[in-house]
Structure 1
């Protein structure tokens, strides 16, 4: 129970369904802010108090479990390491993978509980073969299946999402008010919880050694100087401070971040078009497709950011020798074994695709699985025609 309206109503519905429910709030910071600021954060003392009050209304036990040390290692330090390597991570997805549905779920099962229920908007169903599947929620605007795509089949067997079929958030708030829950009108949390002021660049500057370096075009011509390559992300336009305009007078965008060279590559908008993605550390959300074993192409839909565009694509599973210079830090790569990856080709070029983002594959409403984007190819750059 985060202290928000969704988890409070999810708990209430679990009680109504006849389950023996215990409310658990996760302490993820050793020094949480005392008060919330608008919609920023979700792990404050105020949030813990709101979760406790909801449990009092529902008449269920309330506990706070301290996962702050693991959160620091698996989420915060991972976030910093990814940015230091020039990638753009999704910490909410990592928190679901490592904390809520691994650390929390493992402890719950050890204590004899059957499942973890949350206020996420997603649905767990059974396929024709009887195996568990993850699906989009009824409310497309609130659907959170993207950040849950990291869940494995064995974890989905122990997940409950009571809000799955609720058609709108307004109905959840109305239900909370009817139940006498004080969080009925509490603002949603939509920022990185461990950066409560929203200043990601400033926060990173305190943890990553940022050094000035060159800003170059796709041909390697130096155009200006940046204050630290790791503070930039692919697709970024603002903050480049390049002294001279582009020859065609159009804006430039960040095309690539090269942390080892401390270099930022920029170019025109058309050079952001991506026609092929390689994604590493894949996992299936349920049973793998038969093509997992054969390496054949399969049709799917691709989403590469939370609440982002969903595009038709085709994908296949590839197995290649481990490359220790790549972003893959999986056990297989470390051991020198073959690395499993997904090769994804959208039906039309995409923009704003950055290494470190999660590529989530769907078939209709079903979540097939996810992988971390390692490389994103622009056909013109690959052909050496970026100028």
Structure 2
């Protein structure tokens, strides 16, 4: 097969590309330039897709003896990921930019261009497994290494995309083995730190970054009875479940900490209340996709995961033509509209939806 290896400049994508070469594929490496800031450099484990990362990817490709290119996707990344991130916060939702990047850049724009150029598949360093189901269709499953499993952020992939995707690291029992393999292959990225945080906010100051783009405006913080208990400099700085940084002037009657229950962008109001009010009895969303075959039944049991590193929770899903509604066996904690819910059947990813609406197990009275 002709395989396009997406090389981020990290150890995982370098080893994935190496394994694709070992498998006998005709491999070409590509690094995605997602920022027009030419002087951008990496700071420790913060950020990705920087000048330094591009150079690391090129060195790895040279070591593997494969052609290497840099593709400029900065405009598409700005429009589909960064602007989406900003608009979601403006609407009082909590987006996941990694999900949008996988959905709209790495496995949409890149795969589309790769297929147009005659490639058969895109290879990445994600930790996930592809298996053939009993009906002959490809299924997306959790990786062998539960600690590194990335199936959650890949839940946005469709059946067609899975048909043209390779995950060579999915069976690897641990990340340390990947690093050891990189050292044995002479790859200079063998001990490079993993990237974390939001790649386009490398200093980690999400609040300050959003303030520049959304604007800061003083507003009220109210409790679950509607009483003003504090003020803020911009509702965009808060997300459901947040406890720190509230600076409340009026203590709770029971003396217990209060958490963000709701963000209301229209009135620029933040609602706070007790931790138990964060319990969510039901979630639903209209923006959904299926990672493989569409579920045969309208109602089915599954597990739902609402964060990349959250534990999956047993639940019942009901699907209509326009909506997915999930009722967990036990309430979920601190769910925010804008988050992604990924549905599993055992290790298999069934699909995902963006959470539009939540039903509290302890309704807010305001």
User: Which TM-score tier does this pair reach, normalised by the shorter chain?
Assistant: over 0.9
Residues 4-25 of structure 1, C-alpha deviation per residue, up to 9 Å, x if partnerless?
A: 0000000000000000000000
The residue that corresponds to 1:303 in the other structure is 305
Query: Residue 276 of structure 2 is aligned with which of 270, 273, 285?
Result: 270
Distance 1:277 1:32 in 2: 42
| Number of the residue aligned with 1:354 | 336
8 Å CA contact 2:156–2:351 kept in 1: the answer is yes
Does the Cα contact within 8 Å between 2:316 and 2:326 map onto a contact in 1?
Answer: yes
- The match for 1:259 among 258, 261, 265 is 265
1-side partners of 2:313 and 2:238: how far apart?
26
Q: Is the 8 A contact 2:207 2:236 kept in 1?
A: no
Counterpart contact for 2:32–2:70, Cα < 8 Å: yes
Partner of 2:327: 345
Which of 207, 223, 229 pairs up with 2:229? 223
Offset, 1:210: 2.1
State the shift of 1:275 in Å.
0.8
**Cα drift, residue 123 of structure 1:** 0.9
Cα RMSD (Å): 1.0
Query: Separation in 1 of the partners of 2:92 and 2:145?
Result: 34
In structure 2, the partner of 1:325 is: none
Superposition pairs of residues 325-340 of structure 1, within 5 angstroms = 340=322
1:138-177 paired onto structure 2 within 5 Å: 138-177=144-183
Distance in 2, Cα, partners of 1:106 & 1:123:
22
C-alpha contact (below 8 Å) 1:5/1:176 kept by paired residues: yes
Is the Cα contact below 8 Å between 1:32 and 1:43 reproduced in 2?
no
TM-score (norm: length of structure 1) = 0.92
Paired with 2:362 and 2:111, the residues of 1 have a C-alpha distance of: 46
1:37 CA drift (Å): 0.6
Pick from 104, 108, 116 the counterpart of residue 110 of structure 2. 104
Deviating 4+ runs (over 3 angstroms): none
Deviation at 1:61, TM superposition (A): 0.3
Of 331, 340, 357 in structure 2, the residue corresponding to residue 375 of structure 1 is 357
Shift of 1:32: 4.3
Q: Distance in 1 between matches of 2:42 and 2:361?
A: 46
Pairwise CA distance, 1:278: 1.1
User: 1:221: how far off?
Assistant: 1.4
- Residue 280 of structure 1 pairs with residue 286 of structure 2: yes
- Please give the alpha-carbon distance, in whole angstroms, between the structure 2 residues aligned to 1:179 and 1:46: 20
CA distance, structure 1, for counterparts of residue 186 and residue 24 of structure 2? 20
Structure 1, unpaired ranges of 5+:
320-339
Whole-angstrom distance in 2 between the partners of 1:189 and 1:280: 32
Match of 1:16 among 22, 30, 50: 22
User: Structure 1 CA distance, aligned partners of 2:165 and 2:326?
Assistant: 29
- Where 2:8 maps in the other structure, the secondary structure is coil
Deviations 1:243-294 (A, max 9, x none): 1210000000000000011110000000000111112201000001112xxx
Give the aligned partner of residue 328 of structure 1.
none
Tell whether the 8 Å contact from 2:304 to 2:343 is kept in structure 1 after alignment: yes
TM-score norm. by structure 2 comes to 0.97
Q: How far, CA to CA, are the matches of 1:223 and 1:191 in structure 2?
A: 31
Distance (whole Å) between structure 2 residues aligned to residue 276 and residue 185 of structure 1: 43
Displacement, 1:79?
A: 0.3
Is 1:204 the equivalent of 2:202? no
Is the 2:126–2:167 contact (alpha carbons within 8 Å) kept by the matching residues of 1? yes
Q: Equivalent residue for 2:98?
A: 92
Residue by residue, what CA displacement relative to the aligned partner does 1:122-147 show, whole Å, maximum 9, x if unpaired? Answer: 01111000011111100010000101
Contact 1:27–1:68 (CA under 8 A) maintained in structure 2: yes
What secondary structure does 1:165 align onto? coil
Give the distance between the partners of 2:289 and 2:11, measured in 1 at CA: 30
Structure 1 residue 33: Cα displacement:
4.4
SS at match of 2:108: helix
Alignment partner of 1:363 out of 345, 351, 354: 345
> Offset of 1:86 from its aligned partner?
0.6
2:4 aligned partner? none
